[in-house]
Structure 1
Amino acid sequence: MTGTIAVLGLGEAGSALARDLVAAGAVVRGYDPAVAAAKGVVATGSEAEAAEGADLVLSVNSSAAAVGALEAGLAGLKTGAAWADLNTASPGTKRKLADIAAGHGVPFTDIAIMAPVPGRGLRVPMLATGVAAETVATTLNSFGAAVEVMAGDAGLAAERKLLRSVFFKGMSAAVVEALTAARAAGCEDWLRKIIVDELTSANAATVDRLVDGSVKHAVRRTSEMAAATEMLRELDVRADVASAARDQLAHIADTQDCQQS
C-alpha cells in the first residue's frame, strides 16, 4: 500500500505512528518544532510544508496546539486531502476544528486513541467520527491500523474517550492516594491486597453497588469521607480524591433533601 501521510507532532505517540506507517510503505512527512524526525520520515519545517502533497494529515500534538496546527496546515493542503485530529481534546474543541475544516472544504475526522500507544504503535485501538471517518479509517487500516468507525459528528469519539478517562484516571487517582496514605500509615501491603481483590472480583453487580450505595448512604458516607480527609491530612498526605468524594456525596445528600422537601 502506498500513500503520503503527514504527521504533525513527533512525540511519543506521533513518532510511533509515523514509524509504523513508514514500515508499512507510506511516505510520511513529519513536523515537530521540538523533536527531530525519525529515520524514514521526511522532515519538514512547518505544518503547511508537512501537509504539501499529503493525502491525509494526522495531527498528534496537543489539545492546546490543535487549532493552531490546523490553521497553519491549511495552506499546504491539496484539494481532497483529509485532516484527522488525534489529540486528546474536548468534544467542543473537536467540533470547532470540524467547523474550521468545513469552512475550507477539508474533510475532517475526530480520532480518539483509546489505549496507550507505546507497545502498540499503529495497532492501538482508535475510534473515528465525523464526515471523513470512513475514508480515513480505510486509509489507516490499509497500513495495519485498528480504527473503528462510529456514526456521528466529530466530537463523539473524543466524548467516548474522555468519559472513559473520567473513570480510569479517577480510579487511578484514588488508588495512588489510598496507597500513599497506607504507606504513611505503615500498611500498604494490606491495602494493596484489598484493592487487587476488589478489582479482580468486579462485575456488573459491582457497578450497581457503587452507584446505588452512594445514593442510598450519601449522608453517612459524607461523614465517613470527611473523617478520611482529616486522617490523610494527619498523615501529611494530600486528600484530593478523598475531599472530592466527600463533596460529591454531600451534593448527593443535599439533592435528596431538596427533592424530599
Structure 2
Amino acid sequence: MASITLGIIGFGEVGGIFGRGLRGKDGVEAVHAWDLKFAGAEGPRAQEAASADSIAPAGSMQSLCAQATLLISAVTASNTLAVAEEAARYLRPGTVFLDLNSASPGTKQRAAAAIESAGGHYVEAGVMTSVPPYGIKVPMLLGGAQAADLARTLNRWGMDAKAVSEKLGVASAIKMSRSIMIKGLEALVIEAYTNARAYGVEDHVLPTLQETFPQIDWSQQGAYFFSRVVQHGKRRAEEMRESANTVKEAGFNPFMASAIAEKQDWVAGLARAGVFEGLSGKSPWQDYADRLLAQRKADQA
C-alpha cells in the first residue's frame, strides 16, 4: 500500500484516536472521517472538531468511500454489519476495510461477505484491550486473506498488529472469548462490592480477595471497573451481546455472557439518568456503590 487515503467510519473516541494518530504517517496522504453525528444537530460542531485535528469531515458514507483506499470501521458493536453493508454500496474495488468493532465471528463473516462482494478486501481486528491509554499502539489481532499485508503496514506506522489467521472469525473469537472474562469481572466486582457495602462487610471481603489474588490491588481495580462501566456501559453491553452470539455460534447457551450484558446495560442506564453525576475515574469504588445503594432506596420509597 504505497499511497493511502484513510477513511475513518465513526468519529467517536476510538475513531478520533486512530484518525489523529495515523495522520501524517508514512504514505498517508490524507485522513477523512464520516460519522452520523456530522449530519445531525451537532453536525457543525462535530465537523469543526474534526477539521481542527486536520481530519477532513465527509458529507456522507458515499463521499468517504469515494476518497478512501483504506477504511477503518470504529462504530458500536450493534452497527458492525450495517456499516459494512452501507460501505459496500459505495467503496471502490481494491479498498481495504479494517473492522475494529467488537462483534462475533459470524457477524464479522457476514460483514466480510458484503465488503468482498463489492470488490473490497476485508480484514477483521480483535482489539485486545481499551484503546486509551495505548492509542494507536493498542494490541490488535488481525484476520483475513489480507491480514498479514495490512499488519506490516500498520506496524510500520508504529502500531501493534499481529496477523493470526487467514480465516475470518479467528481473531474475533479470541477477542470475544476474552471479553466474556474481562467484562464478566467488571460485572462481578460491581455486584459483589455493592452487595458487601450494603451489608457493611467490605472490610472483610476485600482482604480475602487480596489474600487469594495478591497480585491485584482489589480496591484500586474495583474503582477502575466501576468507572469504566459507568462511562462505557452501553458500548460494553453491546459487545457482550456479540459475545453471547459468539457463544451461541459455538453451540452453547450463553448464560453468563447474556447476564453480563444485562448488568452492563443496567449500570449504563443509571449513568444516563445521572445517578453517578460528579464521580470520575479517580473516585473510590465506595462512592459508586453508595450511589447504587441510594438509588435502591429511592426506588423502594
TM-score (norm 1): 0.72
Partner of 1:33: 36
In structure 2, what residue type is equivalent to 1:40? Answer: S
Partner of 1:107: 121
Partner of 2:9: 8
Superposition misfits of 4+ residues, deviation over 4 angstroms: none
Equivalence map 1:1-261=2 (5 Å): 3-24=4-25, 26=28, 27-34=30-37, 36-37=46-47, 38=50, 39-200=53-214
Deviation (angstroms), 1:194: 2.0
In structure 1, what residue type is equivalent to 2:58? Answer: T
In structure 1, what residue type is equivalent to 2:85? Answer: E
Work out the CA distance in 2 between the residues paired with 1:57 and 1:149.
18
**What does the per-residue CA deviation read over 1:70-89, in whole Å, with 9 as the maximum and x for residues that have no partner?**
22223442231111111111
Deviation (angstroms), 1:3: 2.3
Q: Do the aligned partners of 2:88 and 2:114 also contact (CA within 8 Å) in 1?
A: no
Unaligned stretches of 5+ in structure 2? 39-45, 217-292, 295-301
Q: Do the aligned partners of 1:47 and 1:69 also contact (CA within 8 Å) in 2?
A: no
Say what the alpha-carbon RMSD is for the aligned residues.
2.1
Partner of 1:224: none
Unaligned stretches of 5+ in structure 1? 203-235, 238-261
Higher-Rg member (1/2): 1
Deviation (angstroms), 1:23: 4.8
**What does the per-residue CA deviation read over 1:57-113, in whole Å, with 9 as the maximum and x for residues that have no partner?**
001112222222222223442231111111111111001011122222211111111
Q: Do the aligned partners of 2:62 and 2:90 also contact (CA within 8 Å) in 1?
A: yes
Q: Number of paired residues?
A: 204
Deviation (angstroms), 1:124: 0.4
Q: Do the aligned partners of 2:74 and 2:100 also contact (CA within 8 Å) in 1?
A: yes
Work out the CA distance in 2 between the residues paired with 1:177 and 1:104.
46
Work out the CA distance in 1 between the residues paired with 2:20 and 2:70.
16
Work out the CA distance in 1 between the residues paired with 2:191 and 2:10.
33
Q: Do the aligned partners of 1:56 and 1:136 also contact (CA within 8 Å) in 2?
A: no
Work out the CA distance in 2 between the residues paired with 1:13 and 1:197.
37
SS at match of 1:78: coil
Amino-acid identity (%): 31
SS at match of 2:15: helix
In structure 2, what residue type is equivalent to 1:32? Answer: D
Work out the CA distance in 2 between the residues paired with 1:136 and 1:51.
19
Q: Do the aligned partners of 1:48 and 1:74 also contact (CA within 8 Å) in 2?
A: no
In structure 2, what residue type is equivalent to 1:93? Answer: T
Q: Do the aligned partners of 2:146 and 2:166 also contact (CA within 8 Å) in 1?
A: no
Work out the CA distance in 2 between the residues paired with 1:64 and 1:49.
23
**What does the per-residue CA deviation read over 1:177-228, in whole Å, with 9 as the maximum and x for residues that have no partner?**
11111111112132122223323359xxxxxxxxxxxxxxxxxxxxxxxxxx
